[in-house]
Chains A and B, each alone.
Chain A
């Protein structure tokens, strides 16, 4: 088990390193970053000074080395727009995003699993049909539209919930619901289908033959096996979640990293974009690592490989 985790950690580190390199080259290709901050009529000498300041006068490989070195220290340079260290900027906004993402994930998982399990147990019932329709609609609803509509309905028309900013738990409800919907729908659908498969399988038949009570059959025998594909889906959903935060933070003016990224991007503030991309990849890789460890916990075949 330790060996397995160690192996996965090393793999993750390699992945992150490769991403750093790719991001570095991509960003360098975006065009001259100075064009954004230097007024068009600036003196050539001033441009040179700025170039030196940001290290842009060096050969590209050397720039990469310097970049890697500073990236290792967590230094991604200073934001052009906000004049603050880029990583600190991203990190300072991170708790808000985390709050949003975690609540969205919780909503999606809890509701998605329960809808899916009940649907699978009561196949073709009214409940199942409602659940199926709901997940079909949920998967087709663009989150930004849902956000805007929820805002209109609960915020503007009914005036029940605050529509922008961060603060109380009430502020969280709309954005978190918006983000979670797609994941919730997909989790519900997959849970339904993999539970149906699991319930049909030989080992469930065997458990029933043994006289194991229904709730134990469902929750231990079937759900444990069904959870493997669901876990895979959830790790993939995390990518939607990140996309979701970017969009939803923009709509609900949530002061998180996603909104920061869009602002930075539109302002060509590339140290911030870079820091954000790397940070997001880092988080994403970390989540995948956790998911893989969970796999190993659920599935002994991975543990004993």
Chain B
């Protein structure tokens, strides 16, 4: 939990707490090690990269990048998935068949392949990453929400709402949706981690965010060349990703325990 709090804190107040300008290059100060290995200066806590940029500052900015990209991607895939899931599950029949066949088809292309295709279509950039992650992720939401809707659709309270004469819209949004919200929150939190990793992976492969932006995946890719004599360039961005994802996953698990609707029903 505190990891997530810290993460959000750095995202919001990032510019205020960075010790150095993350984009300022200074070749004189290139490849400085982190402070505990450094005899020269303790000015750069986590050292500098090959261009002499401060790693800590770049990590903090990277948190912002990854957060913005992840959030925007989630804004594409979650509503899309929820909408299709609700429609598919509630109305069933032909609509359901078509949507589900489509997700099957989509699922039979591994996400990375779709991503590769999309990147080749749109060219590597931040926007591409958002779109790619967004449209590869919605299937997951659609399927899970559909499953939930199906289980609630046959519940007696939904049947009773129909007997009373509630409209479909009212039933979907007033009866079914509030019951799937918990699952949705858990899903989004857990998905956040996935999105962070995918974004970083794409950037790492050179298919995502382009230099000189500060992004964790990108920093790692840059650091790889210097792996033998500047381990810190690749180690810290990785640790940052690890903890961000770990925090999100743990929050998701915690939410699952707290909000689990199954425990409340019976």
Contacts and interface: CB of A to CB of B under 8 A. Distances in A.
Interface of A: 15, 18-19, 22-23, 26-27, 29-30, 136-137, 139-146, 148-149, 151-152, 156, 238-239, 242-243, 246-247, 250-251, 261-262, 265-266, 268, 270, 273, 276-277, 280-281, 284-285, 288
Given A27-B117, A140-B245, A265-B207, A152 B231 contact: yes
B117 A288 contact: no
Given A148-B238, A149-B234, A242-B112, A142 B200 contact: yes
B29 interface: no
Q: 5 closest Cβ contacts across the A-B interface?
A: A145-B238, A243-B112, A140-B245, A140-B246, A239-B110
6 contacts: A140-B241, A140-B242, A149-B234, A152-B234, A243-B201, A266-B206
A210 to B, nearest CB: 28
A139 B227 contact: no
Interface stretch (B38-46, B101-109, B146-154): B101-109
Contacts of B110: 238-239, 242-243, 280-281, 284
A262 B205 contact: yes
B116 interface: yes
A242 B206 CA distance: 17
Contacts of A151: 227
Nearest to A147: B224
Contacts of A251: 224
B199 to A, nearest CB: 10
Contacts, number: 126
Given A246-B112, A250-B205, A281-B110, 6 more contacts: A27-B120, A141-B238, A142-B242, A144-B200, A145-B238, A262-B205
A19 B105 contact: yes
A130 to B, nearest CB: 16
B108 A148 contact: no
Contacts of A270: 120
A142 B241 contact: yes
A15 B113 contact: no
B52 interface: no
Interface in B185-215: 193, 197, 200-201, 204-207
Given A145-B237, A152-B227, A136 B109 contact: no
A262 B117 CA distance: 11
Contacts of B105: 15, 18-19, 22
Contacts of B249: 136, 139-140
Contact of B205 (A156, A247, A273, A281): A247
Nearest to A16: B108
Contacts of B223: 148
Interface in B209-238: 217, 220, 223-224, 227-228, 231, 234-235, 237-238
Query: Among the interface residues B113, B119, B205, which one has the most CB atoms of the partner chain A within 10 A?
Result: B113
Contacts of A276: 113
Contacts of A22: 105
A136 B246 contact: yes
A281 B241 contact: no
B250 A136 contact: yes
B220 A280 contact: no
A280 B113 contact: yes
A133 to B, nearest CB: 10
Nearest to A235: B107
Contacts of B119: 265
A149 B238 contact: yes
Contacts of A265: 116, 119-120, 207
Nearest to B109: A281
Contacts of B217: 142, 144
A285 to B, nearest CB: 5
Nearest to B140: A236
Contact of A142 (B107, B108, B201): B201
Contacts of A266: 206
B72 interface: no
A239 B111 contact: yes
Contacts of A152: 227-228, 231, 234-235
A247 to B, nearest CB: 6
A148 B219 CA distance: 13
A139 B252 CA distance: 13
Interface in B91-150: 104-105, 107-113, 116-121
B175 to A, nearest CB: 28
Nearest to B122: A30
Given A30-B121, A285-B108, A261 B116 contact: yes
Nearest to B227: A152
Contacts of A144: 200-201, 204, 217, 220
